[in-house]
């Protein structure tokens, strides 16, 4: 998810039983206006299936926070107010440095996620939906660097099938 989409998640967007998040808004900092709630980059609502480990972390977080009514922010300050996108990025950068994760950026994690999914053979359509791209072509253009590995894997699969075919004896 994009930074603003993460920060705009409310508890009503999380369905524990289905392990899904509904991405329908984003927070953005507008100079002179402060932080505002707006639509997603493509103005589309998407449902993202999350893994069981993340769902467990969200469940634990909800139990430990006092701001857990449906319209409360999932990522919130101690007083329940939304986080400032710039402050969140600054915090993440400092955390990455403290953990000695050199070169790791918040947005870079989004790219790593997409690249790993494509490299694992997840259909580009599914990856595109998870990322909230307007078109599959956008996803293919941005992550074209993964394709050569997939091309080799496709050639290897065909080779294995050819090797298994029965060849008549001369």
DSSP symbols for the chain: --HHHHHT-BGGGEETTTTEEEE--EEEEETTTEEEEE--TTS--EEEE--HHHHHHHHHHHHH-S--STTSBSSB-TTSPBPPHHHHHHHHHHHHHHTT-TT--HHHHHHHHHHHHHHTT--HHHHHHHHT-S-HHHHHHHTGGGHHHHHHHHHHHHHHHHHHS-----
pLDDT in tens, the chain (170 residues): 999 999 999 999 999 999 999 999 999 999 999 999 999 999 999 999 999 999 999 999 999 998 889 999 999 998 999 999 999 999 999 999 999 999 999 999 999 999 999 988 899 999 999 999 999 999 998 888 877 777 788 888 888 888 887 656 55
Identify the pLDDT of residue 73.
Answer: 97
Identify the pLDDT of residue 166.
Answer: 60
Identify the pLDDT of residue 121.
Answer: 87
C-alpha closest to that of 40 among 148, 134, 115: 134
Which tokens hold the place of 9? 């998640």
Which tokens hold the place of 135? 């078109």
Identify the pLDDT of residue 24.
Answer: 97
Identify the pLDDT of residue 157.
Answer: 87
Would you call 13 helix, strand, or coil by DSSP? helix
20: Cβ–Cβ under 8 A, 6 or more apart, which residues? 14, 47, 48, 49, 50
pTM of this structure = 0.84
């Amino acid at each position: 998810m994009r930074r603003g989409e993460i920060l705009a998640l409310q508890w009503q967007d999380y369905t524990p039983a289905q392990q899904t998040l509904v991405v329908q808004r984003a927070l953005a900092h507008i100079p002179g206006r402060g932080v505002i709630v707006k639509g997603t980059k493509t103005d589309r609502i998407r449902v993202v299936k999350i893994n069981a480990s993340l769902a467990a972390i969200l469940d634990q977080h909800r139990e430990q926070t006092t701001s857990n009514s449906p319209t409360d922010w999932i990522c919130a300050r101690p007083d329940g107010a939304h986080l400032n996108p710039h402050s969140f990025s600054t915090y993440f950068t400092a955390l990455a440095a403290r953990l000695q994760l050199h070169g790791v950026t918040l947005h870079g994690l989004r790219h790593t996620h997409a690249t790993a999914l494509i490299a694992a053979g997840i259909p580009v359509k599914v990856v595109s939906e998870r990322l909230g791209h307007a078109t599959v072509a956008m996803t293919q253009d941005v992550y074209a660097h993964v394709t050569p590995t997939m091309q080799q894997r496709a050639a290897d699969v065909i080779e294995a099938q050819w090797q298994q075919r029965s060849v008549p004896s001369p």
